[in-house]
Amino acid sequence: MHKLISELTRLYLFEEQQQYVDAQGGAQPLTPAVLARHLSGEQTVAVQLVTGSGLTRVLVLEFGGKGGGEAHWSALCAIANAVQHELDLPAPAVSISGTAFQLWLSLATPVPVAQARQFVQLLRSTFLPASTDILAAAPPADVEQVALPPCLQLSGKWAAFIHPSMGAAFVDEPGLDMPPPPAAQLGFLESLRSINPAQFAQALAKLQGHAGLAQPAPAPVSMTVSPVSSPATAPGLLLQDASLEDIVRWLHARNIEPTFRHRLP
């Protein structure tokens, strides 16, 4: 569990100032003990992704809602592929929340939340046709607070990070009946890299150019985040259907033993 917490911190959390929202709606410190209980299903909390000074280092896009699972997955694939091949950014993580698909973009250096929202909006307007833009009503809270996977949802389903090639298997039910093995969750995260300030600025400028916006992007705020060293460069996402043998081979290469996602009758 300690290694999983370290990877989540490296990619998405602040070393300090990190908070969660308690049952009364108040902000409390997100200690390693609280995060461990969250990840084990004992106490699910909404993690605040924005500091008191209005900075964030993770962009979360949610694709979901009642019905339309295949359309949601196709839209996620369109954005994820554009992030890598059109904007030259590192591969994002993919998760299932119990009700939706989520795409996670990690920033090495925090940016103002207003700039993060603009980036997400421009991603959507640039790479999703208006007729299929299922994120049109996405709430700002997607950027500000989220139940960090893996975690147990109120529905009884587990949210979890998944390998992108497995997404099509969850179009009807984007959640797990059983808790995902921590080693598998660690395997999905440890090869991911954060977007560095130069990459973010270049990608934002490109998106602004597509939208006809001339103003330069403000520079990311200099701020120390988790000191955990970055792993080796990760290969690009393979956002396409994969065979069971492909998935098992990929997991075994990372010393992950696959398990069933549903309880058998």
Q: What's the 3-state SS for the chain? A: CHHHHHHHHHHHCCCCCCEEECCCCCEEECCHHHHHHHHHCCCCCEEECECCCCEEEEEEEEEECCCCHHHHHHHHHHHHHHHHHCCCCCCCEEEECCCEEEEEEEEEEEEEHHHHHHHHHHHHHHHCCHHHCCCCCCCCHHHHEECCCCEECCCCCEEEEECHHHHHHHCCCCCECCCCCHHHHHHHHCCCCCECHHHHHHHHHHHHHHCCCCCCCCCCCCCCCCCCCCCCCCCCCCCCCCCHHHHHHHHHCCCCCCCCCCCCC
Q: How confident is residue 123, by pLDDT bands cut at 50, 70 and 90?
A: very high
Q: How far apart are the first and last CA of the chain?
A: 29
**Position with higher pLDDT, 225 vs 232:** 225
Does 228 score more than 50 pLDDT? no
* pLDDT at residue 199 in the model: 98
Does 158 score more than 60 pLDDT? yes
pLDDT (tens digit per residue) in 196-223: 999 999 999 999 998 887 555 455 555 4
**Position with higher pLDDT, 235 vs 170:** 170
Q: How confident is residue 140, by pLDDT bands cut at 50, 70 and 90?
A: very low
8 A C-beta contact, residue 107 and residue 195: yes
Does 136 score more than 90 pLDDT? no
Lowest mean pLDDT among 15-24, 28-37, 94-103, 225-234: 225-234
**Position with higher pLDDT, 245 vs 168:** 168
> For residues 230 and 232, what is the distance between their CA atoms, to the nearest angstrom?
7
pLDDT (tens digit per residue) in 74-122: 999 999 999 999 999 999 999 999 889 999 999 999 999 999 999 999 9
Query: What is the average pLDDT value for the chain, to the nearest integer?
Result: 82
> For residues 151 and 179, what is the distance between their CA atoms, to the nearest angstrom?
8
